Amino acid sequence: MTQPVILTCAVTGGHNNQAKHPNYPITPKQIAEDCIAAGKAGAAIAHIHVRDPETGMRSGELRLFEEVCERIKAAGSDILINLTTSEGARFNPGEKTPSIGGAGTTLISPLERLVHIEALLPDICTLDVGTFNFGETIFVNTPEHLRIMATRIKELGVKPEMEVFEPGHIMFARSLIEQGYIDGLPMFQLCLGIPHASPATPEILNVMKNLLPQNSNWSAFGISRWQFSIVAQAVSQFGNCRVGLEDNLYLGKGEFATNAQLVERAVRIIREIGREPATPQQATEILGI
């Protein structure tokens, strides 16, 4: 039998698309409920950002992460919790003085980006391995910042999910592994279709997959219209996959999705290809958490 597929649901992201969806999860209660529903639908991992309940904008507030995690655990869900560490990494050069951040800049120190990880010790947290143009800002992850973050994540005993947006990010991730900053079986997420980064094509997925260390656990996602084609491609190549409203708002043209519906469709694709979705316990064992 082939290894079961670890399906992640990214329930809400750090973008500003929330106004485009009539029932986008924004409050800690809504986010937690969507994580729980995703778990019941077949997801093994919930990838979690938080948002300001009043404005809907992305946030890094510890109290919001705490409430989401507490609600998931109080409901008895065993879905694995994967917390983002991306908040606090955006830089936009100031119009008059480019060396000083202008509108949209959120840049903070690498250890500040891990405050909620230290407090909550989730099963998994992301480590965005590289810098690139993200929307109208720069998503900043310098080599030294990444080494600092990887060291602290290792000390905390949390599993890092290395999010890679370009082939060069994988090459830097390999150096982190070789230098001992990453323990155990490496876990990669291939992030495809984001504007100004790698497109969601079969060719690019194959290039990035073939650059990974041989003992890696890997997953892939495509945003928007490419979500389910990348699910099918990753699963057929014995990888894992991710869906969710962070990456795609629709089931079909003009048909808004819920996180649970996106997970249900991914589960159907996984089974049509002849594999099975992993339970949280199976995912724990596969990933070496």
Per-residue pLDDT of the chain (289 residues; tens, 9 = 90+): 689 999 999 999 988 888 899 999 999 999 999 999 999 999 999 999 999 999 999 999 999 999 999 999 999 999 999 999 999 999 999 999 999 999 989 999 999 999 999 999 999 999 999 999 988 899 999 999 999 999 999 999 999 999 999 999 999 999 999 999 999 999 999 999 999 999 999 999 999 999 999 999 999 999 999 999 999 999 999 999 999 999 999 999 889 999 999 999 999 999 999 999 999 999 999 999 9
| Nearest alpha carbon to residue 230 among 264, 261, 206 | 206
> CB-based contacts of 70: which residues, under 8 Å, 6+ apart?
none
Dihedral of the alpha carbons of 16, 20, 23, 27, in degrees to the nearest 10: 20
Distance CA 168, CA 275 (A): 31
- Asked if 188 and 218 count as a contact pair (C-beta separation under 8 A), the reply is yes
Give the CATH fold of the 7-287 domain: TIM Barrel (3.20.20)
Nearest-angstrom CA–CA distance, 134 and 92:
10
